[in-house]
Amino acid sequence: MVKKIFSGVQPTGNLHLGNYLGAIKNFVELQNQDENECVYCVVDLHAITVKQDPKILKNNIRETTAAFLASGLDYKKSIIFNQSLVPAHSEGSWILSCVARMGWLNRMTQFKEKAGKDKEKASVGLYIYPVLMAADILLYDSTHVPVGEDQKQHLELSRDIAQKFNLDFNVKDFLKVPDPLIQKSFARIMSLKDGTKKMSKSDPSNLSRINLTDSEDDIVNKIRKAKTDPKPMPDNIKDLSKRPEAENLLGIYSSFKNQSLQISIEEFSGKNFSEFKKILTDIVVEKITPISNEINKLQKDHNFIDNILKAGSEKAEVIASKKVKDMKKIIGF
């Protein structure tokens, strides 16, 4: 059975190890499975839910695309495009916003987190962007969506909207109800300076994250200075519940090795962190340095990246605009 995969990444700039291990690495693996048809989107319309500098946003769109390509996404195998080039996303989102219920959106925890205490000053776009996310997914008849735990709620909303549209207009299975592909292990990579906080570009300390554009020297320095505890490496998983930094570093290692956390624990049980960090550094440098070099190379060729996005958007537009056309016919336009 063919799986139709859709996922997107916001062009926030400074993509880091958390973005790679939590999303992009998985995108590449899904792309390389013959039974999958993949659509990967730089979701720039989502980015403007908060104020953006236009020049920086343009650069971030290109940088995110470069990171996709450098990590192994192939524009000949997958549709790669940026959302704003496909007007059907906005049109479909408006139609679906008239199906979605206020009560559903009120339950979205990410709005509460991103808006902070002063919700009155948050943009309307930030409040309703889960409906745009639903349109992104549903316009491509997506059967599966790779999501982290923090996005699972939004996928549930997409499912609710699809089911309500189909029921309201008596069109069984017109909008496909997608299933989540949840990366169970190590989807959340934590800060190198605090194992209880998610790795983030907004952290004021550059030492808290490994950026996908970091040099080999940067990576070596950041892992060397990564926070640990004075105990030897753990010898069982139970020990990790109170050792978040150890769990995070072992999780990063396990992700790169494509092995379970238990196997990694057995591999380093009782050893010193200094010994483990050297081996971790070697594998991160081996995997990330070629990506960093390729990103830097691609970013020098704006025309190449822009042409890939344009070609991808043309393919996406054919699919998405047909779906919107059918939606409009169903609702009476």
List pLDDT tens digits, range 277-331: 999 999 999 999 999 999 999 999 999 999 999 999 999 999 999 999 999 999 9
Domain residue spans of the chain = 3-188+301-331, 206-297
Per-residue pLDDT, averaged over 207-215, amounts to 96
- Which element (helix H / strand E) includes 140? none
For residue 5, the cross-strand partners are 38, 144
Average pLDDT, the chain: 93
Average pLDDT in the 144-165 region? 89
d(CA 93, CA 286): 42
pLDDT digits (tens, 9 = 90+) for 229-243: 999 999 888 888 889
pLDDT of residue 236: 87
Q: Which residues are catalytic?
A: 114, 198, 201
Which of 90, 84, 52, 50 shows the shortest CA–CA distance to 65? 84
The predicted-structure confidence for 189-207, as pLDDT tens digits, reads as follows 999 999 999 999 889 999 9
Cα(60)–Cα(42) distance, rounded to whole angstroms?
10
Contact 312, 81 (CB under 8 A): yes
Which phi and psi (to 5°) does residue 79 adopt?
A: -85, 120
Which is nearest to 313 in space by CA: 42, 31, 125, 30?
Answer: 42
- Does residue 186 surpass a pLDDT of 70? no
Distance (Å, whole) CA 205 – CA 153: 30
Query: Mean of the pLDDT values across residues 216-238?
Result: 93
pLDDT(116) > 90: no
- Averaged over 222-231, what is the pLDDT? 94
Q: How confident is the model over 102-122, as a mean pLDDT?
A: 82
For residue 121, give the DSSP letter.
G
Cβ neighbours of 246 (radius 10 Å): 23
Domain 206-297 has what CATH class? mainly alpha
* Residue 211 to residue 118: CA distance in whole angstroms: 31
Percent of the chain having pLDDT more than 70?
98
> What pTM does this model have?
0.92
Give the model's pLDDT for residue 187: 65
3-188+301-331 is classed CATH 3.40.50.2300 = no
Closest among 316, 36, 327, 315 to 175, alpha carbons compared:
327
Are 188 and 152 spatial neighbours (Cβ–Cβ below 8 Å)?
Answer: no
pLDDT of residue 148: 74
Q: Which residue has the tokens 């070697």?
A: 282
DSSP E strand boundaries for the chain: 3-9, 36-42, 79-82, 144-147, 179-182
> Tell me: the pLDDT tens digits for 7-24?
999 998 889 999 999 899
- pLDDT tens per residue, range 249-264: 999 999 999 999 999 9
